[in-house]
Amino acid sequence: MVFILPVLLLIGSGCALFTSGGREVAGPAQALVGHWRLADGGGEVYFTANGIYSFMDQNGNSGRATYRVTGEDPETRTVTTLIRLMEYNQQPVDGVVEMTVTGTFSKNYRTHTGESVAAPGSPPRTIVMKYVAP
**Type of residue numbered 126:** T
User: pLDDT tens digits for 21-34?
Assistant: 557 788 888 999 99
Q: Which CATH number fits domain 4-133: 2.40.128, 3.90.220, 3.40.50, 1.10.150?
A: 2.40.128
CA dist 46 and 34 (Å) reads 6
CA dist 99 and 120 (Å) reads 10
Kind plus residue range of the DSSP H or E element containing 32: helix 28-32
Name the residue ranges covered by the structural domains of the chain: 4-133
Find out whether 57 and 43 touch, Cβ atoms under 8 Å.
Answer: yes
Stated pTM of the model: 0.79
pLDDT attached to residue 119: 73
pLDDT attached to residue 81: 95
